[in-house]
Structure 1
């Protein structure tokens, strides 16, 4: 029995060492990748980009978010705003921006086309069919863009690259919930995202992504992914399986929703956890063991078994170093002073670390996903079934 415990302890120590390697790779990868100098005159003539903006509803920051797309420092692009309903309250706002910036090629599409259970793809389908450029950019409604972002993404689209995507991050906002979002996206989420990008493992999110349109057309367009809720993962999977690379933009995607609260944040993380577990089943084991506090408990026991080290001291040092590396990574991605105090960071970091395992457990026992007004049942492989449908388009 001793040898069984010894072998198990050794496995935990090896896994623990692997995660520290992951930490350092993410930090160095972020340092090398982010905030490179962007030459606005690079690559003339420019390739045109069709930007799909799926929209639903109105919030207090939507005007600023959408206007940032009308002021991009890029010469050839079109904006395709897609609405599920012709009565959406955001349509007058979009029309007012189109009038304000008459030199920008922008169109509004309403009604959508049903191509599957995914409401985002249903919403974007008319815009996709009308897109006239070789590059498609899919951009969520809550993003606020820097002027040079599109130029940066197009410049990174080398001959062997099929997708350029942005690391999810957040715009600076006041309050604990926005601070918690920035901490999560700049630490736990960024760590895995950057490591996966370094290893060329599929980590693609459809929050802000530039794609060669012909690679989508070759497999039937967006409608080929309508059976999935996490269409972004399967789009990247399809493209990477055909030998194309993905690259990460040197500028993160800046989420800027009109309001944030802790309940909505937890529900969002729970939904993502369910999707990951269905698409990549081995995360059911690896994900909770990768959490700082849980990993520290098991590894403290392991070093006591093998080396007879004090488990309490080891655990405290483990947590401290993990905390410092997370702060370092967040500072690199922020590229400047954090919009909150170090005390805020400590509280937010502890809140996230304590709630991470709890969110995973609550997600594990329920395979249904609530998305706005709809409810879906999730099956292994990532295929979704709508069980509480909204009125059909």
Structure 2
């Protein structure tokens, strides 16, 4: 009985901690941003966009980079092969916006098992400016995109990032994807940054060339299977911090299937296990459903009804809904059901990550176990 009482007590504490992290993230996201740089002091910026294949929102996301309210920037698109179907779209967009300096670079530098990093190397080498943004192709850039990234830079910054916030979901599984991205992942990342433990997110990363080149350049990010995990560790070793933009940038979601959501989340989950194993061991406890089950199982040992778990779970979801409404993030009729499915998937993903060796990125298998040492042994430059 004492053991079950301890389970209930720890579950209740974890539920309260989860709600507190929602409140902390809401405070961080509501904090007044630093003033945006005026045109007279705005440094020139290079935006590197790795592209691979066509997606439903490719026209909207890629064209958004040509409409930024910034006086001096260039776009460098990187693609592994000219046969990629996205190439005609990129060339058409560059032709339609001759006033924006833009280039398309073709080639693949095999420095890692990470195809996105391999795709970006040539862009980093060719960048004309010292401030460099690495931006995924499915990020929709608001007009003040560059200004907001620069506004988050402080004297102790090594990297500024933005995770995606899911927008324009269509259907139930798209709502589940938003439940993962928005009130779950964004919440934990903003709460961690507010506590001084910022983590990089590869969707949008602002670097200063001198800082990264002093620590091995972009190729140094091949030390981990995920470039954002490598970036986090590199910045911390340099005695600097990862900071986040005032509010995350949108990523249109559209329609998704259960298989798509599972594969995507499994890839991220497996990468977290490989790159931050100590943190990952307790990740299944971030599921309010798991915590509610623990509370229900142990509540009788403390003299409470197991049904106490239901209002506790409802309180967790009410906090998430309040955060989403405060931030203007999408909340449809599927929201609560999507939260439940997400929280049932979290322990399943946690278990699956221990037996999964390969994940898939844009149709290409990635062996996430391979790091710089294995690559060097295979003859690739680390």
TM-score, L = length of structure 1? 0.87
Q: Give the C-alpha shift of residue 144 in structure 1.
A: 1.0
2:318 to 324, 335, 344: 324
Q: Give the C-alpha shift of residue 160 in structure 1.
A: 2.2
Rate the CA distance shift 1:384–1:368 in 2: closer, same or farther, 3 A: farther
Could you list the runs of 5+ residues in structure 2 that have no partner in the other structure?
Answer: 376-382
Q: How does 1:325-344 map to 2 (within 5 A)?
A: 325-334=319-328, 338=330, 341=332, 343-344=333-334
Counterpart contact for 2:46–2:129, Cα < 8 Å:
yes
Please name the residue that 1:196 is paired with: 192
Q: Give the C-alpha shift of residue 236 in structure 1.
A: 2.2
Q: Give the C-alpha shift of residue 80 in structure 1.
A: 0.5
Q: How does 1:42-81 map to 2 (within 5 A)?
A: 42=38, 44-81=40-77
Secondary structure class of the residue paired with 1:226 = helix
Distance in 2, matches of 1:220 and 1:209, equals 17
Rate the CA distance shift 1:184–1:373 in 2: closer, same or farther, 3 A: closer
- Deviation readout 1:130-171 (Å, 9 max, x if unpaired): 112111101111111111121111122123222111132123
Secondary structure class of the residue paired with 2:137 = coil
Please name the residue that 1:391 is paired with: none
Please name the residue that 1:374 is paired with: 364
Range with greater deviation from structure 2 (61-70 or 181-190)? 181-190
Rate the CA distance shift 1:285–1:117 in 2: closer, same or farther, 3 A: closer
Distance in 1, matches of 2:288 and 2:201, equals 24
Q: Give the C-alpha shift of residue 6 in structure 1.
A: 4.9
Q: How does 1:132-143 map to 2 (within 5 A)?
A: 132-143=128-139
Distance in 1, matches of 2:142 and 2:259, equals 29
Q: Give the C-alpha shift of residue 5 in structure 1.
A: 5.0
Distance in 2, matches of 1:133 and 1:332, equals 37
Distance in 1, matches of 2:287 and 2:259, equals 21
Q: Give the C-alpha shift of residue 81 in structure 1.
A: 0.3
Q: How does 1:270-309 map to 2 (within 5 A)?
A: 270-305=266-301, 307-309=302-304
Please name the residue that 2:345 is paired with: 355
Please name the residue that 1:251 is paired with: 247
Please name the residue that 1:108 is paired with: 104
Rate the CA distance shift 1:383–1:18 in 2: closer, same or farther, 3 A: farther
Distance in 1, matches of 2:217 and 2:255, equals 33
- Deviation readout 1:314-359 (Å, 9 max, x if unpaired): 1011111011001112223326xx3x53x32122222222222222
Q: Give the C-alpha shift of residue 42 in structure 1.
A: 2.8
Counterpart contact for 2:170–2:253, Cα < 8 Å:
no
Rate the CA distance shift 1:12–1:259 in 2: closer, same or farther, 3 A: closer
Please name the residue that 1:389 is paired with: none
User: Is 1:27 the counterpart of 2:26 in the alignment?
Assistant: yes
Distance in 2, matches of 1:178 and 1:12, equals 29
Range with greater deviation from structure 2 (125-134 or 362-371)? 362-371
Distance in 1, matches of 2:80 and 2:286, equals 39
Range with greater deviation from structure 2 (128-137 or 13-22)? 13-22
Q: Give the C-alpha shift of residue 12 in structure 1.
A: 4.0
Distance in 2, matches of 1:114 and 1:379, equals 16
Please name the residue that 2:124 is paired with: 128
Q: Give the C-alpha shift of residue 209 in structure 1.
A: 1.4
Q: Give the C-alpha shift of residue 282 in structure 1.
A: 2.6
How many residues are treated as equivalent by the alignment? 376
Secondary structure class of the residue paired with 1:219 = coil
- Deviation readout 1:295-315 (Å, 9 max, x if unpaired): 11212334432x31112x310
TM-score, L = length of structure 2? 0.90
